[in-house]
């Protein structure tokens, strides 16, 4: 991983030289040989039918994403075409190429290759046929229902596993820095893949405290931005934990993290969820489609995990390994309750979906006891409001 760190540093220095130097620099020559496939511009144009509009599947701040087909086998790929004028885009490309070509995990987006040819900068990924969870939760037509609860839980667990691997599974910690709904993609088996490593940072050895002091401004997505990171301009693995907690609430509530069309107290999903948790009225914010479908014991653990992830101070949040284990336990409780329900032994009363700041009880049929408040990293006794996140993220 020392080689990866050196490559990133060198490439990001090059990307900051500006457009006037771009013609003098050959960025691709500075990428370690054999990392992944380098595509020619001709291959990229052939794959996308010369960037045809009917193959456009997404657009972001630094470029557009096209569906494409490579090689004679017609393998489906997603091709991110970076904007020529974006120096940040060049930095993101080098970041992703050097990182993703050397790490592999079932819950990280697979990078197939890249293209650096004159003014063109492209990244080539495996195509995720089911898109991101947003289109299956927030934008559902009459032809299909929103994602069921257990599938949402499975998505959360997949993302948690990917983040846990980045934080502790490598010689050096990798901090994603932009965990959000739009950066989660779903393959043909609905397996979650964490995507977009353009803002990722490499930290110290994973066994040490992962803290990186940033010289540049705070970057991230409004609503998901860690308030501790915004204040201190220090990014740690707990920065990802906060953003992941926001994602947990989105998947539970079936709404965006910020919705300015709602009344003032409900605009910020996280602040509203924390308030409802304290008042024992969380049933008010659950996605209506999920009402009567979540086992109370599963719900309590899930909400405690989400609440612990969005604690105001990073040091008070759990590690991703703890989060992963807690979510897996939550899914086990849901599966047990579903089995009991099918046998006619159990039902999910809506009025029991409350989870205020009090110790969790044993579940009603004595299997898989909920954790106690003693030594429980998810116990949230902090009733302090979140800091105002209205400041603009770069």
Q: Which residues are tagged catalytic?
A: 178
**Tokens read off for 205:** 């050895």
Closest CA to 270 of 300, 249, 242: 249
- Identify which of 223, 212, 149 has the alpha carbon closest to the alpha carbon of residue 179: 223
Helices (H), 254-295: 269-279
Q: How far apart are CA 269 and CA 287, in angstroms?
A: 12
Contacts of 251 by beta carbon, 8 Å cutoff, 6+ apart = 133, 137, 152, 155, 156
Provide CB contacts within 8 A for 297, sequence distance 6+: 333, 337, 363, 364, 368, 370
Half-sphere exposure of 151 (CA within 13 A, CB side): 15
What does the longest C-alpha to C-alpha distance in the chain come to?
72
Pick from 206, 389, 379: nearest CA to 308: 379
The answer to whether the beta carbons of residues 12 and 94 sit under 8 Å apart is: yes
Q: Which of 161, 179, 162 is nearest to 219 (CA)?
A: 179
Of 37, 6, 45, which Cα lies nearest the Cα of 114? 37
């Amino acid at each position: 991983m020392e080689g990866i760190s050196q490559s990133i540093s060198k490439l990001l220095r090059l990307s900051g030289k500006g457009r006037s130097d771009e013609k003098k620099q050959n960025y691709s020559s500075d990428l370690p040989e054999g990392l992944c496939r380098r595509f020619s511009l001709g291959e990229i144009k052939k794959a996308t039918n010369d960037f045809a509009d009917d193959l456009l599947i997404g657009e972001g701040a630094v470029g557009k994403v096209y569906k494409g087909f490579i090689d004679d086998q017609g393998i489906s790929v997603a091709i991110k075409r970076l904007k020529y004028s974006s120096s940040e885009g060049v930095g993101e490309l080098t970041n992703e190429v050097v990182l993703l070509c050397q790490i592999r995990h079932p819950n990280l987006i697979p990078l197939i290759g890249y293209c650096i040819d004159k003014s063109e900068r492209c990244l080539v990924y495996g195509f995720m046929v089911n898109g991101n969870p947003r289109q299956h939760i927030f934008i559902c037509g009459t032809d299909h229902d929103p994602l069921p609860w257990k599938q949402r839980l499975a998505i959360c667990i997949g993302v948690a596993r990917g983040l846990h691997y980045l934080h502790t599974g490598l010689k050096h910690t990798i901090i994603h820095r932009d965990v959000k709904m739009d950066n989660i993609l779903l393959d043909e088996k609905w397996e979650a893949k964490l995507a977009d490593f353009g803002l990722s940072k490499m930290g110290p050895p994973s066994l040490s405290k992962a803290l990186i002091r940033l010289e540049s401004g705070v970057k991230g997505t409004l609503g998901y931005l860690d308030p501790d990171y915004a204040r201190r301009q220090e990014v740690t693995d707990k920065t990802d934990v906060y953003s992941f907690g926001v994602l947990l609430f989105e998947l539970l509530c079936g709404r965006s993290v910020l919705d300015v069309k709602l009344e003032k107290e409900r605009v910020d999903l996280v602040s509203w969820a924390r308030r409802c948790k304290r008042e024992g009225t969380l049933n008010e914010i659950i996605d209506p489609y999920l009402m009567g479908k979540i086992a109370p014991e599963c719900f309590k653990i899930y909400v405690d995990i989400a609440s612990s992830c969005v604690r105001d101070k990073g040091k008070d949040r759990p590690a991703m390994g703890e989060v992963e284990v807690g979510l897996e336990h939550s899914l086990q409780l849901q599966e047990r309750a579903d089995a009991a329900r099918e046998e006619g032994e159990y039902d999910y009363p809506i009025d029991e979906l409350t989870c205020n700041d009090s110790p969790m009880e044993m579940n009603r049929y004595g299997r898989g006891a909920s954790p106690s408040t003693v030594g429980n990293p998810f116990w949230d006794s902090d009733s302090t409001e979140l800091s105002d996140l209205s400041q603009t993220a770069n």
